[in-house]
Structure 1
Amino acid sequence: MVDYRKCAMIGCGFVGASSVFALMQSGLFSEMVLIDSNRDRAEGEAMDLSHGLPFGRPMEIYAGDYSDVAGCGLVIITAGANQKPGETRLDLVNKNVAIFKQIIPEVVKHNTECILLIITNPVDILTYVALKLSGFPPQRVIGSGTVLDTARLKYLIGRRLGVDSRSVHAFIIGEHGDSELAVWSSANISGIELNRFCEQNGNFEFRKAANELYTDVRDSAYTIIKKKGATYYGIAMSVRRIATCILRDEHSILPVSSLIQGHYGLEGLCMGVPAIVGSKGVEKVLDINLSGEEQLELMHSADELKKVLASLDLPK
């Protein structure tokens, strides 16, 4: 029996530590164990975070090893090599697949009932790798997918149109990377179709700016990495959002990465598409309406991922 108030974070780099900080403030967990190949780093992060507990909610944060994942309801993996300036997410694949071949068997040795939440890039490839190496049911292996990309799109649309980004409803889907696509055909502002909203508010130039916004979203990570070396706050908030959906059994719809089985005419890969997320993980992958052009772009994105998957040595 697992305890969904106990969580493990594997990897205590910028993303892992920032995610633990966000989760600590959420009040979702009563116990969090930090695991890293550098034990001193895990211990230092646990100490630093614990010193802030008097300002938050009672919980236990400590450094541990893989035996401590026993009983965890949620195991989050951020461990892996960092994306360097000029390097694509898919360039990371061989280094991080090798790391996952060490991590996943250790997790499974101590816990076969948890939900795995994969954050490490390239996240769609590594979600599929984790699924194959763990042998877990597909609904319990989730990647962060295009949750952050979608948030970036909502933020940029909201800023451009002068509305609260929480009133923007639009998705980035496909690979979390260079082949991702914006689903403009169903984008809306609180139920008002995007083009109509723009016309009603005299913003006739928005459609011309749409491709610019998409490019800004797609290239955000490259820009941030160039300027400050790494991205971590945005993804940390994404981790918190996904964890909240699971722990509170929200049945919220998020474009997480999970196994595609016939959806959009695709199968045999993981990528970010809207799905209902709750206490059992991915409850249902949703087929949203796409324009003909968007369907072709999604097929291209899937092909890019499948090329990489075909080169990997994974269990059948």
Structure 2
Amino acid sequence: MTQGRVIGTDTVEDARQRGRLIVEVMPGDIVTALARESAERLGLKLVDGPVEMPAPVRTDGATSMRRTLYRRAPKWQAPSRSPRKARRLGKLALIGAGGVGGNIAHLTSRADMAEEIVLIDIAPGMAAATALDLNHTSGITGAAGRCIGGETLDLVSGAEVIVVTAGRARSPGMTRADLIDVNARVIRQAGEAIRSEAPNAVVIVVTNPLDEMTTEMLRVTGFPRERVLGMAGTLDSSRFRNALAMMAGVSPADVDAITLGSHGEEMAPIPSRATIKGRPLNVFLSEEQVKACVKDAITGGGQVVALKKSGSATIAPAHATIELIDHMRGARTGPVPVSVMLNGEYGIDDVVLGVPAHLGQGGMIKIEELRLTEAETAALHTAADAIRTRLAT
């Protein structure tokens, strides 16, 4: 009789990284409580084994040859992969029903990502009107989730995920840091309501200045760092990928790139990790062109503000927030840039900064430390120092 193994969180994490949906538990195996909790959070099932494997499909030589020749035909296209089965949220609350919040609600409702979507805004009637407008689309989209709008923060009660977009937007000539004092008051009010009404929620902060407001949300709620996230890196990375694609004349789908650091002047696009069609940037672009793309990513938000004259970007930030929620639902896998409190990662302590992290049902699972160049590592530390300075003033 073989001795059973101990199934811990490392076994569950290994299964997730391999893209498996089940963890086989053989007779005699011991499953730790933490492993069960991790499996539930990641959407994996613990299945009693041995699991019966399907019999291999046997194909005769003539059929195999015919299929091989067919795949070599110029018109053949590989079948698209079926999307991952994502978990549906119970209740999603949006504090702020303006441009960003309204677009997040629209995208969430359209994809039927939550059973209930609650919009909250201090402007009389705004949240209720948006909610009603979205409910009117259900006859077209067939979405089953219902939207509710109101003006009081107690509506966050019982929310699984809370997105905070409320606060003053930038005007031309303003930096994100100029909004610290006015928006900190908004975050404090929201954080106090979240702490009392939704103590188990995961909070995503979108309000600018992003890293500083995420720090304030952590302080007010007292939540662990895993459950207070800042949306920035997904948006900044999208802008960086768009700039690289335009410069190289390729589709954005051909570009893989990430941006870390702060959501502001100290933003740190990472060219050393970026690829175009799976190859390094220098195959397609000169050093000067890459620098231009880095600058375009850093100034992307300001470009929108300058064109709008009043207000800032709303559509791209909404899509960037949905990307984080999709990682939490299991619709996407792998590391994603997100602002979190660092505890020694990348040699940085006690500051919120954008880094790649794995997300799950309970928020952040772990931070992934990438191998960066000396200049890129220095940029991260410069961003950390700048955030500390702004918070100290």
TM > 0.5: yes
SS at match of 1:71: coil
Displacement of 1:190: 4.5
Match of residue 41 from structure 1: 126
Q: How does 1:226-241 map to 2 (within 5 A)?
A: 226-228=306-308, 229=310, 230-241=312-323
The one-letter amino acid paired with 2:193 is E
Aligned partner (choices 127, 135, 155) of residue 50 of structure 1: 135
Whether 1:61 and 2:144 are equivalent positions in the alignment is no
Distance 1:298 1:9, change over 3 A: same
Q: Is the 8 A contact 2:89 2:115 kept in 1?
A: no
Displacement of 1:250: 3.9
SS at match of 2:114: coil
Aligned partner (choices 95, 98, 101) of residue 16 of structure 1: 101
Whether 1:260 and 2:346 are equivalent positions in the alignment is no
Displacement of 1:249: 6.4
**Higher alpha-carbon Rg:** 2
The one-letter amino acid paired with 1:262 is G
SS at match of 1:67: helix
Whether 1:225 and 2:318 are equivalent positions in the alignment is no
Q: Kindly indicate whether structure 1 or structure 2 has the higher relative contact order, using CA contacts under 8 Å at least 6 residues apart.
A: 1
Give per-residue Cα distances to partners, 1:65-106, cap 9 Å, x unaligned.
Answer: 323222211011000111111100011011111111111101
CA distance in 2, matches of 1:261, 1:220: 30
Match of residue 277 from structure 1: 359
The one-letter amino acid paired with 1:272 is G
CA distance in 2, matches of 1:238, 1:24: 16
The one-letter amino acid paired with 1:215 is K
Whether 1:245 and 2:327 are equivalent positions in the alignment is yes
Q: Is the 8 A contact 2:234 2:336 kept in 1?
A: yes
Aligned partner (choices 134, 137, 160) of residue 73 of structure 1: 160
Aligned partner (choices 217, 221, 236) of residue 134 of structure 1: 221
Runs (5+) with no aligned partner, structure 1: 199-204, 312-316
Match of residue 165 from structure 1: 252
Q: Is the 8 A contact 1:249 1:279 kept in 2?
A: no
TM-score relative to the length of structure 2? 0.74
Q: Is the 8 A contact 1:250 1:277 kept in 2?
A: no
CA RMSD of aligned residues (A): 1.5
Match of residue 202 from structure 1: none
Name whichever of 293-302 and 113-122 sits farther off.
Answer: 293-302
Aligned partner (choices 237, 240, 243) of residue 153 of structure 1: 240
Q: Is the 8 A contact 1:168 1:190 kept in 2?
A: yes
Match of residue 308 from structure 1: 390
Match of residue 26 from structure 1: 111
Runs (5+) with no aligned partner, structure 2: 1-87
